[in-house]
Structure 1
Amino acid sequence: MARLRRPRLASPLMRRIFLLNTLPLAMLAVTLLFLNDFQNSLLEADVTALREQAHIYANAIGQTAVVRRPERHPIPGDEFVLDAATARPLLLRLTEPSPNAHARLVGPDGKLVADSRDEAALAQHERRRLRPEPASRTDPAPNAPSQWEPPHNNSIEVAYDWLLSLLPLSSREGIVTLDTPDAPTPDPDTSPKRGANPPEAAPYIRRTSARQLVVTVAEPVVHEGQTVGVIQLTRQAQEVDRSLFAVRSSIVSLFLVAMAVTLLLSWYLSLTIARPLLRLAAASHDMRDESGRVDSVPEPLLARRDEIGVLARALRASVLALWARMDAIERFAADVSHEIKNPLSSIRSAIETLPRIENRERQQRLLGIISNDVRRLDRLITDISDASRIDAELSRTRPEPLAVMSLLAILVEIHQTTRAARDPILKLEDGREDPARPLKVLAVEDRLVQVLRNLIGNAASFSPPLGVITLRAIGHEGWAEIIVDDQGPGIPDGKLEDIFDRFYSERPQTENFGQHSGLGLAISRQIIDALHGTLHAENRYDAASHVLGARFVVRLPRSS
């Protein structure tokens, strides 16, 4: 027989525990990785700062690098043009404090007037020509964009780039997102007509093929109400990427730590839940398949104070109850065999002797013995059948509230109506009962009547002629007692429990042998036990410790 002694990491319960523990954590981590609001707020701040810078550049150029158109008759509203000779060095000087910014000045006709990078490269070349530097020393262009590399580990960089490719760049109103690696530059032809107040152009936000976040804004260059050009300012949004990388790294780090803790906790839960369950399953297999009675439930599981301990104790109690039931069935079968064998032996002996007897009187006596034994067998088989089906019958029947005093009154009336002249008298002792809350017990009426009739019949058989048998009921908190008292000789010492054994018979000398099967009290206790009550016997004594008779007490749950 194959059994699992310990849970594996890939066991079904372990997988379920790990999945249930990590799924909410993973969903939260994936949700936080998007950081849409945080990203957009950073982009908006960067766009605002870049637009202010472009606005300053445009004002400076519009006030300094503009000349009047040389035509004799200039068109009204078109008399000013950009001075390229002045605009180029001015644009270079404006962008020198911001090496990451790339400025381009475009005229109204769309032609490029100045480019900060080109001007920086020319200035650098001129400085080298005038003052040669060593060959090993190279000065980067002042406006050359710096490359930002978030992680230095190549594998981490690849993973981060892959993660960024899965997270789409979100946008708010006023921010345009381009999904292409290299977005087109703003078209100067889309600028407003000359002389009009130009609206603010939307920024362009894009990622290059190198995964660099680039922001571009455009501002018109205005001189005396005339738009003489457009300045386009582009800058890498390094701080946005740095902030997002720092936050995402923190989220991923916390997620990995939480995942490790969750894995350890899941493993611990698996060890404290799955392994004990497997040990209980192995113990149940051992108790079922091993020869003999092996109580293999581990003691550490029985000592636990959680649900596993409750299950272990319930399993052991079930096994012990099953063994006790098997022992009871075995004893019952042996007792039945013994009790049936006696009348059968008597009948067989009488039948074998009958043909050899010629005396008519002795033949009639043997026939009477056979008849008595047959009736005894019939009574015995009836009681055995009744005892064997009580448990099954009561397991299918639901106890109902029964009024105790009314039931006892009916039994007293029936007995008094049918009793012979010298039979014992049955009396009901009236108790003080609250009419608003009558005494009721939870029981099955037919079976409770059977118990009471057995107790009354047993008391009547031991009571003297015209003796008094008293019935009374007493209510307690949660319980009710039904008491049957007689005036007989009482129960012999040491036999208070033996009288409830099957086929035990302690009958009065005046009673003919074989009139009782010895199952009446055993069946009565069996019924009361099935109704979650108790039945016991005791003797009644007077002040001088003389036995006044026997007392049987039935205790049942009280109905609210």
Structure 2
Amino acid sequence: MARATSSMSDHETAPRERELALQWTTQLSLTARILAVNIFVLALLAGGIFYLEGFRSRLVETRLEQIARETRLMAAGLDKTLPAERDALLADFVGASGSRLRIYDANGTLIVDSFALAAPSYSLIDPATEPLRKDIARAMDRFVDSLTGTRVPPPVVEQPVSMASNWPEIGRSRTSGRVVSAYRLAPDRTPFISAARALPNSGKALLVTNNARDITRTVRSERLWLGLLFAATLITSVLLSLFLARTIVRPLRRLMTAAVRVRWGRERDVTVPRLPGRNDEIGLLARAISDMTRSLRERIDAGEHFAADVAHELKNPISSLRSSIEALEAIDDPAVRVQLLAIARDDCRRLDRLVTDIAEASRMDAELSRAHFERVDIGSMIDAMVSAREARRTPDHPHIAYARPRKRSTDIMGDDNRLERVFDNLLDNALSFSPPGGVVRVSATRSGDEVIVRVEDDGPGVEAQYRDAIFHRFYSLRPAGETFTRHSGLGLAIVQAIVAGHQGSVSVGDRDDGASGARFEVRLPAADAPSP
């Protein structure tokens, strides 16, 4: 059923503002936007690099705290251990911790080195002796450090002759009397951590160092797995994005191409793809555009046919009128001139009726689309129309018999002015075909969710092969003896257009009682019927 189309409301302001707010996204194609969204999600995954950097920092801090505790415990143990037991204690500690212990005297000279008492627990590696993959790993370390803005610690330098002055943490420990730790980088960019503790009452200092390569191995291993995961996800995301873009963009481009061809109108039969294999929104859009295009083409064809029919229908009375006027100039016989003037008047009346009906038929769809439907009692409307016609009826005209329904039982939602035109045309048609003294029977009843109006006449009826054609524009089966100017052939076409605009139907058939005559039946949705 046609509904009223309202003007722009305040409710449309918010969507319009949202469209303006997202206007920048229209500068990108759908493919680019799909890729951008998916890659943005991948960028969040790539943010794991920052997590790994924080993870490494926490590992280094934990190891510094650990070596500080070990240094504190070792210093306390040395203070309580006899000199003869010192070397054994150092060896046990080195074996358990993997660190290197050095003791310097008050002058800063190295007097004890655990590497001289047992096999070295670690050794600083020269990067020049390592394979290419290690160089790549160190390059990646430097790249991540620059990317995350990590402060790079100073390098460790082992002098040929180890002195306390080479280790600033020893001096700070002697000054503060507490354990002081430090973090440096070994030549291969692995963490080198140290802690110093001034031994009380002796002027000596203890230095514990360790090359924590396991931290680097752990971080690089996690980074490798994260990189592989990122690469796999990136490839998968790009492929899925391209697939998604292909399934969305390609059919949209096909629809766009077809729409452009329809717009240009250079090809009469443009096939808009319906994409029957797709049940998603793209498929629904394709079928909606296809149906819209077909409907548009039908309306264009109907408009072209209507224009051709109008030209044809106007041509005959205009030609007759012109012939009559031209003949008036050449004929002096008063009787013939009166006859020609009568023909001219008939042609003028016919033209007037044609122009009026053509104007109404041409604006019918537009007016129905803007109409505001209200509750209309069809029974009361027809009752008023029949009463008015019966009051004007002359004895030689057909009688109208109306079976009045129960009040408000035949309510529908519609435009009362247009509906009056429907039943007015049907009554005119029935009266014109009914013989003098005949009866036109009208009824309005409610059946289920429909209101049914029937108009029956006593005329010759409509043969089966013409029952569809009589609703076409300018098609008319005129009753015998009727003057040519009374009907334009648009009355029933207007009836069908108005009824269709109310989501109803109109048909013609034989009378139920088998007598001669036609029965027109209009079916309209009742006011309280569910909307289709």
TM-score, length-scaled by structure 2 = 0.78
- Are 2:443 and 1:471 aligned? yes
CA deviations on 1:163-207 (whole Å, 9 max, x unpaired) are 2332356xxxxxxxx65424974354556878xxx6xx5643454
Query: What's the offset of the Cα at 1:356?
Result: 3.9
Q: Distance in 1 between matches of 2:176 and 2:303?
A: 109
For 1:494, the equivalent position in structure 2 comes to 465
Counterparts of 1:262-273 in structure 2, within 5 Å, are 262-273=237-248
Q: Distance in 2 between matches of 1:165 and 1:282?
A: 50
Counterparts of 1:340-351 in structure 2, within 5 Å, are 340-351=314-325
Q: How many aligned residue pairs are there? A: 489
Does structure 1 conserve the Cα–Cα contact (< 8 Å) formed by 2:173 and 2:196?
no
AA partner of residue 192 (structure 2): V
Counterparts of 1:118-517 in structure 2, within 5 Å, are 120=115, 144-146=123-125, 152=133, 154-167=135-148, 179-182=152-155, 185-186=168-169, 188-189=171-172, 201=179, 203-207=181-185, 210-219=188-197, 221=199, 230-286=205-261, 292-297=267-272, 301-421=275-395, 423-426=397-400, 428-431=402-405, 439-464=410-435, 465=437, 467-477=439-449, 479-517=450-488
Q: CA, structure 1 residues 366+317, in 2 after alignment: closer, same or farther (shift >3 Å)?
A: same
Select the structure that is richer in helix: 2
For 2:95, the equivalent position in structure 1 comes to 97
Structure 1 unaligned segments of length 5 or more: list them: 1-10, 67-85, 125-139, 170-177
Q: Distance in 1 between matches of 2:102 and 2:377?
A: 104
Q: CA, structure 1 residues 350+189, in 2 after alignment: closer, same or farther (shift >3 Å)?
A: closer
CA deviations on 1:370-401 (whole Å, 9 max, x unpaired) are 11111111111111111112222333335444
Query: What's the offset of the Cα at 1:369?
Result: 1.4
Q: CA, structure 1 residues 536+333, in 2 after alignment: closer, same or farther (shift >3 Å)?
A: same
CA deviations on 1:210-231 (whole Å, 9 max, x unpaired) are 5322333344545xxx686553
Query: What's the offset of the Cα at 1:443?
Result: 2.6
AA partner of residue 189 (structure 2): R
> For 2:441, what is the secondary structure of its paired residue?
strand
Q: CA, structure 1 residues 381+157, in 2 after alignment: closer, same or farther (shift >3 Å)?
A: same
Does structure 2 conserve the Cα–Cα contact (< 8 Å) formed by 1:180 and 1:207?
yes
Query: What's the offset of the Cα at 1:265?
Result: 0.8
Query: What's the offset of the Cα at 1:294?
Result: 3.6
For 1:25, the equivalent position in structure 2 comes to 42
AA partner of residue 234 (structure 1): T
AA partner of residue 540 (structure 1): R
Query: What's the offset of the Cα at 1:512?
Result: 2.4
Q: Distance in 2 between matches of 1:256 and 1:552?
A: 72
Q: Distance in 1 between matches of 2:460 and 2:154?
A: 111
Does structure 2 conserve the Cα–Cα contact (< 8 Å) formed by 1:106 and 1:188?
no
- Are 2:511 and 1:540 aligned? yes
CA deviations on 1:289-346 (whole Å, 9 max, x unpaired) are 58552434457x3443333333333333333333322332232222212211111222
Q: CA, structure 1 residues 538+182, in 2 after alignment: closer, same or farther (shift >3 Å)?
A: same
| Percent identity (aligned) | 31
Q: CA, structure 1 residues 316+273, in 2 after alignment: closer, same or farther (shift >3 Å)?
A: same
